[in-house]
Structure 1
Amino acid sequence: MQNNLKQIRESKNISQPKAAEDLGYGLSTYRKYENGTRRISDEKLVQLSSYFNVSIDVILGTAYKVDPTSPQFQKDAKTRSFLNAIVTILTPQERSLLHELLSNFSKLNESGKTKLVEESDTMVRSGKFENFGGHSQFSSAQEIA
């Protein structure tokens, strides 16, 4: 992810080592945030925003305002955390299937999306397609809704 951290830091006349130390990050980690080779978590975005006294949208270089206190941001943070947790335990084949599923989901209208969720729920409740070993390691996705 390309971001504006380097330009923001330089405009404040702060060195990378100083920023990393002030924020409590390792220098290598901070450098990866700046060059975009490491994803910045929502919590870190809020911390960086506060430290540099700029809005999150300035860090991300987005055209819209990002308010970390808004209910939508909080809801999206839970969704991102949930998806990140799932992706870490999936095999490469499962990640590919999830990508295909999400791609298809995004192409459906609201009625189609609802139908897809209902069908998957029916498959799970039937037990016929249950994952060996029992239940999901994750709580219901409804918690993030």
Structure 2
Amino acid sequence: MTQGQRIAELRKSKKMSQSELSKAIHVSPSTIGMWETDNRAIKDDDLVKLADLFNVTTDYLLGRTDNRHEDILAAAHLDEDINKMSPEQRRAIYDFIEFQKQKIDEDNKKD
């Protein structure tokens, strides 16, 4: 899927016209049309506005990933530091990871 197709799909999923999208991010309606047909490159600041408006990552808009939302990763060097952590600290890390997974799942269900 091209960048333009992704923008068009996201716009339509929000039931927005090209004109409404153009007003929301302060560009001309013809610019939206050219983006959606891949006839004009998207400026970085406009890409960020689109990502914020549609609650997706810029990588998704650029076609670098098919995941609309950033996967939040929590990393801990448990292999090296496990003996230095209390059971409460380990539990807090695991709880945080589970919380983030649930948050991502909930966000994905909204789309």
Partner of residue 53, structure 2: 51
Q: How much identity, in percent, do the aligned residues show?
A: 31
**1:12 positional shift:** 1.4
**1:30 positional shift:** 1.3
- SS in structure 2 at match of 1:43: helix
Question: For residues 23-34 of structure 1, what are the structure 2 equivalents within 5 Å?
Answer: 23-34=25-36
**1:64 positional shift:** 7.9
Counterpart Cα distance in 1 of 2:37 and 2:30 = 11
Counterpart Cα distance in 2 of 1:27 and 1:46 = 18
**1:39 positional shift:** 0.4
User: Could you state the TM-score of these two structures normalised by the residue count of structure 1?
Assistant: 0.41
**1:31 positional shift:** 0.9
Ranges of 4+ aligned residues in structure 1 off by more than 2 Å? none
- Structure 1 runs not aligned, ≥5 long: 68-145
Counterpart Cα distance in 2 of 1:64 and 1:20 = 24
Partner of residue 10, structure 1: 12
- Answering whether residue 32 of structure 2 is matched by residue 37 of structure 1, we say no
Considering Cα pairs closer than 8 Å and 6+ residues apart, tell me whether 1 or 2 has the greater RCO.
2
Q: How many residues align?
A: 66
Partner of residue 60, structure 1: 62
Counterpart Cα distance in 2 of 1:17 and 1:64 = 26
Counterpart Cα distance in 1 of 2:13 and 2:66 = 22
Q: Give the AA of the match of 1:41.
A: K
**1:63 positional shift:** 2.6
User: Could you state the TM-score of these two structures normalised by the residue count of structure 2?
Assistant: 0.52
